[in-house]
Amino acid sequence: MAQQWWKESVVYQIYPRSFNDGNGDGIGDIKGITEKLDYLKELGIDVVWLSPVYQSPNDDNGYDISDYRNIMDEFGTMEDWNEMLDEMHNRGIRLVMDLVVNHSSDEHTWFSEARKSKDNPYRDYYIWREGKGDQPPNNWGSFFGGSAWQYDEESEEYFLHLFSKKQPDLNWENEKLREEVYDLMKFWLDKGVDGFRMDVINLISKTPGLPDADVTADSPYQWGGEYFVNGPKFIDYMNEMNEKVLKKFDAMTVGEMPMATPEDGKRYTNEDTGIVNMLFQFEHMDVTSGPGGKWDQQPWKLTDLKRIISKWQTELHGTGWNSLYMENHDQPRSVSVFGDDQEYRVTSAKMLAAWLHFLQGTPYIYQGQELGMTNVYFNSIEQYEDIETLNMYKEEVIEKGETPEKVLEAIHKKGRDNARTPMQWTDEENAGFTTGNPWLKVNDNYHEINARKALSNEDSTFYFYKKLIRLRKELPVMIHGDYQLHLEEDENLYVYTRSYNGRSLLLAANFSKETCEMRLPHTLNGGELLVHNYQDVGHHLQNESIMRPYEVKAYLL
Ligand code: TEU
Ligand code: CA
């Protein structure tokens, strides 16, 4: 496969609202990011993916954009942004911006024009339909609860919003709208950005006629994914975008694609005929979801995680490319879900880090993951800010009469604010994130978990990540090697090997609190120890060994 800079990169995701507040108003901002670039340089990452910083009324923290070509006032100015980009590039760090074009904000001028009347020139930039009597045009539910349709009194039709009602879906069938999107992409690429993370990009094409979804849930609103996930013109639109914009730039693209299967991944990331360089799939994030979906969290099985990851690893090998992630701004903290956020917090954070970085694909680190930051357990709904969480709480507690305790328990496990509490920089007030009043409360554990402390301890998770990032630069097998799973049925141990040009490496991880015996095939022994998270580990791999709680070790064979 071809060498590409984004294959050899490690990406760091910044959620700007929660990263670092430069002016004391309690909200992270662009100057705050620029102040911390030396920290990122020290970690060794190559690329920053910056969640949206465009003008937005913040119904969904920037994922509802009202002006694609200007910076949100709370985050600073375009001059601040220009300076940030220069300072990144000076340090050899690339910048990937978030592209949110399945929907805009209802406060975008396109939408305020569109809703004026049925014959407004911008009307067709959005998806409008008449209701069925006093019912919405179809039975689709929104990702954030309730109907996916909102009635507009002024112009007497419904508009589609797969997310909040302040996030109307854009109508990609309209060629002028598509040209607007391509123009704004060019605007940012001309300013020097190095690529895009594309928000829910596989939802942009809706099946004509917008048919009713099958009734599968006991609710007036149903999952209509069949009619908008990887829709009929999705690939055509993406080919057009590549043709008209992306092929002129050396830009990296990663598409966020709910419901994508490994077969989709293989097709969409194909080196010659694909539409994006890599994509974010959700299958491994969903191993903890029960039949009731994301709020119905269940104990998870390592064999399920193995089955999913192994399928992606082998399916895409040689023709496509994986993205590797365990956290982002929508997901709970990985150490709280897949590790142990108490006794073995540091040990399990390192285990997860090594397990992820030795896989095939481009790793993504979410801010604070390198510190082993944990979920937050607020005890009242008042302390939460996320629209998805608040809508769900209202629906469950106020409308359906569920107990607050039970709903809070689900929020503790899966709420998006778990990832959005401010970055923990120091053990000073508000974790050094702000001198003001933080927009979302800091996690109480910042005295124990913070960057300053991590930087002063050579055995910290921070330096463990740093070492993994460096190893990816030194060992081509980490980038290009194939993938083979061992001990497939084991519910505690995850063992895989990678091979490339006569070099092999082995990673063995204990995903449990138990001490386990590990018996490997006879061919797997010897070699040289690369990373480990316990002190006394043999320098050569043994066929039979003991794996302590959350132990990880990797060998170059
Ligand atoms: O997320 C899309 C998505 O499918 C989910 O992760 C979603 O956030 C939620 O968890 C559904 O239950 C993207 C962004 O990452 C997210 O922050 C935005 O809220 C969403 O799109 C809308 O732009
Ligand atoms: Ca600020």
Please give the distance, rounded to the nearest whole angstrom, from the Cα atom of residue 315 to the centre of ligand 1: 26
Residues constituting the chain: 557
pLDDT exceeds cutoff 80 at 169: yes
pLDDT of residue 91: 98
pLDDT of residue 131: 97
- Confirm if 15 and 418 have CB atoms less than 8 A apart: no
Q: Whose CA is nearest to atom 20 of ligand 1?
A: 63
pLDDT of residue 21: 98
pLDDT of residue 390: 98
pLDDT of residue 2: 80
Which of 197, 289, 330 is the pocket-test mutation for ligand 1 (most atoms within 8 Å of CB)? 330
Is the minimum distance from the CB of 351 to ligand 1 under 6 angstroms?
Answer: no
Q: What tens digit of pLDDT does each residue of 487-520 get?
A: 999 999 999 999 999 999 999 999 999 999 999 9
Ligand 1 atom nearest to CA at 102: 23
Q: Percent of the chain beyond pLDDT 90?
A: 98
Burial class (CB in 10 A: 0-12, 13-18, 19+), 498: buried
Q: What tens digit of pLDDT does each residue of 102-152 get?
A: 999 999 999 999 999 999 999 999 999 999 999 999 999 999 999 999 999
Supply the mean pLDDT for the chain: 97
Q: What tens digit of pLDDT does each residue of 400-443 get?
A: 999 999 999 999 999 999 999 999 999 999 999 999 999 999 99
Q: Whose CA is nearest to atom 4 of ligand 1?
A: 258
Q: Which residues are catalytic?
A: 199, 256
Q: Percent of the chain beyond pLDDT 70?
A: 100
Is the minimum distance from the CB of 100 to ligand 1 under 6 angstroms?
Answer: yes
272-294 average pLDDT score: 97
372 contact partners, CB below 8 Å, separation of at least 6? 335, 345, 346, 349, 449, 461
Q: Whose CA is nearest to atom 7 of ligand 1?
A: 330
pLDDT of residue 529: 97
**Ligand in nearest proximity to the CA of 23:** 2
Whether domain 109-160 has CATH 3.40.50.150: no
Q: Whose CA is nearest to atom 17 of ligand 1?
A: 330
Q: What kind and span of H or E run contains 278?
A: strand 278-280
- Confirm if 152 and 159 have CB atoms less than 8 A apart: yes
Is the minimum distance from the CB of 223 to ligand 1 under 6 angstroms?
Answer: no
Is the minimum distance from the CB of 59 to ligand 1 under 6 angstroms?
Answer: no
176-182 average pLDDT score: 98
pLDDT confidence band for 270 (50 / 70 / 90): very high
CA 6 from centre of chain: 17
pLDDT exceeds cutoff 90 at 45: yes
Q: Which of 175, 184, 180, 229 lies closest to 202 in space, CA to CA?
A: 229
382 contact partners, CB below 8 Å, separation of at least 6? none
pLDDT exceeds cutoff 90 at 3: no
Please give the distance, rounded to the nearest whole angstrom, from the Cα atom of residue 73 to the centre of ligand 1: 23
pLDDT confidence band for 99 (50 / 70 / 90): very high
Alpha carbon distance 471, 473 (integer Å): 5
Is the minimum distance from the CB of 170 to ligand 1 under 6 angstroms?
Answer: no
Q: What tens digit of pLDDT does each residue of 221-255 get?
A: 999 999 999 999 999 999 999 999 999 999 999 99
Q: What kind and span of H or E run contains 517?
A: strand 516-519
Is the minimum distance from the CB of 98 to ligand 1 under 6 angstroms?
Answer: no
22 contact partners, CB below 8 Å, separation of at least 6? 29, 30, 31, 32, 34, 35, 76
Which of 17, 200, 286, 288 is the pocket-test mutation for ligand 1 (most atoms within 8 Å of CB)? 200
pLDDT confidence band for 310 (50 / 70 / 90): very high
Q: Which of 429, 325, 309 lies closest to 369 in space, CA to CA?
A: 325
Q: Is 519 in a helix, a strand, or coil?
A: strand
**Ramachandran category for residue 86: left, alpha or beta (phi over 0 → left; psi -120 to 50 → alpha):** alpha
User: Cα dist. 170→122, 137, 162, 173, 233 in Å?
Assistant: 11, 17, 10, 9, 14
Q: What tens digit of pLDDT does each residue of 48-94 get?
A: 999 999 999 999 999 999 999 999 999 999 999 999 999 999 999 99
CA 449 from centre of chain: 22
Q: Whose CA is nearest to atom 14 of ligand 1?
A: 199
466-473 average pLDDT score: 98
Ligand 1 atom nearest to CA at 329: 17
pLDDT of residue 226: 97
Report the DSSP beta bridge partners of residue 140.
Answer: 222
Whether domain 481-556 has CATH 2.60.40.1180: yes
Backbone angles phi, psi at 208, to 5 degrees: -55, 145
Global confidence as pTM? 0.98
pLDDT exceeds cutoff 80 at 1: no
Is the minimum distance from the CB of 143 to ligand 1 under 6 angstroms?
Answer: yes
Q: Which of 549, 513, 533 lies closest to 468 in space, CA to CA?
A: 533
- Confirm if 336 and 377 have CB atoms less than 8 A apart: no
pLDDT confidence band for 339 (50 / 70 / 90): very high
Please give the distance, rounded to the nearest whole angstrom, from the Cα atom of residue 420 to the centre of ligand 2: 15
> What would the DSSP string read from start to end of 398-450?
IIT---HHHHHHHHHHH-THHHHSPP---SSGGGGS-SS--SSPPPGGGGTS-
- In CATH, the architecture of 11-103+175-467 is Alpha-Beta Barrel (3.20)
Which of 64, 166, 199, 229 is the pocket-test mutation for ligand 1 (most atoms within 8 Å of CB)? 199
Q: What are the domain boundaries of the chain?
A: 11-103+175-467, 109-160, 481-556
Please give the distance, rounded to the nearest whole angstrom, from the Cα atom of residue 222 to the centre of ligand 1: 18
